[in-house]
Amino acid sequence: MDTGLSGFIKKLPLQAQPLIRLKEISSEVFVISINRNHDFLPGQVVAVTTDFSIPPRLYSICSGNKEKELSILFNVKHDGTLSPKMAQLKKDDTLFVSFPFGAFLGDDKPAWWIAAGTGIAPYRSMLRSGLGNNKTLIHGGRTTDSFYFSDEMTAFLSDRYIRCCSQQSGEGLYNGRLTSWLQNQEDLPLDHLFYLCGSAEMVVEVRDILIGKGVDIDRIMSEIYF
């Protein structure tokens, strides 16, 4: 069992919160919502668990910072202990949640937001917090149902929203890996910031591509699923 880094966030104060809603937005991918009791900055994370016998894990907030509810996005890991339990929760069940923290923060400067899978979460929070102008979102996924919140993203970002689908093809999708799409870009906006969010594999591979294409490391911000 991989209890992982966040498996030992035991000493963060966790607050009991009744669950408002659990919505399956794609196969085994859920948005969980609770009341927002703290201010937060878009891009921050919370530590979450269902009970104290299960070590909490970190999840990026995917809701806007002015909304009444605080939401997180998660997918079910069958070899995990927490996410299968979270997927079984019902309205008013208790969730234990830390205060928001973290420094992977959005701002109003021009940027590319690059995500794989549920790594879209912090960008949705940034978008819903009013930071979506002058942003381009590049989202990678295996299948056509991997592009969570795509209606919302399309409505706001229009042609600044690129979906890279590695295992299926579909209308409006780039058929190939996110890294292939990036490799094919001839002129990256080197004066932009580049935000990366996803697995360690994705982050290191994308970071190498960006650096290889002349992006200064000072312009690259990374958040890894720890």
Burial letters 10-37, b for 16+ CB under 10 A, else e: eebebeebebbebeeebeebbbbbbebe
Binder among 18, 110, 170, 212 for another protein (CB under 8 A): 212
Does residue number 188 form part of the binding site for another protein (CB under 8 A)? no
Selected from 25, 155, 190, 200, the binder of another protein by CB under 8 A is 200
| In the complex, least distance from residue 86 CB atom to another protein, rounded to whole angstroms | 19
Number of other residues whose CB lies within 10 A of the CB of residue 143: 13
Characterize the bridge pairing of strands 69-75 and 21-26. Answer: unpaired
Cα dist. 168→110, 132, 139, 160, 179 in Å?
31, 28, 14, 21, 16
**Listed residue (164, 144, 142) closest to 209, CA to CA:** 164
Region near another protein per CB under 8 A, out of 65-73, 126-134, 184-192, 199-207: 199-207
Q: How far is the CB of 24 from another protein (least distance, A)?
A: 18
Q: Is 122 helix (H, G, I), strand (E, B) or coil?
A: helix
Cα(125)–Cα(117) distance, integer angstroms: 15
| Least Cβ distance, residue 121 to another protein (angstroms) | 14
Q: How far apart are CA 24 and CA 26, in angstroms?
A: 6
Site map 139..158 versus another protein, x via CB under 8 A: -xxx---x------------
Residue with Cβ nearer another protein (25 or 211): 211
Please state, as a whole number, how many other Cβ atoms lie within 10 Å of the Cβ of residue 88. Answer: 10
Note whether 222 binds another protein by CB under 8 A.
Answer: yes
How many H-runs (helices) and E-runs (strands) does the chain carry?
5, 13
CB of 202 to another protein, least distance (A): 5
Rule CB under 8 A: say whether 193 interacts with another protein. no
Contact residue for another protein among 100, 174, 179, 193 (CB under 8 A): 179
- CA pair distance 183, 88, nearest whole angstrom: 40
Choose which of 100, 106, 117, 132 interacts with another protein (CB under 8 A).
Answer: 117
Return the number of other C-beta atoms located less than 10 Å from residue 91's C-beta.
9
**x/- letters, 60..99, toward another protein (CB under 8 A):** ----------------------------------------
Report if residue 42 touches another protein, rule: CB under 8 A.
no
Residues that bind another protein (CB under 8 A): 2-5, 7-12, 45, 58, 101-104, 116-117, 140-142, 146, 164, 166-167, 177-179, 198-204, 207-208, 211-212, 217-218, 220-226
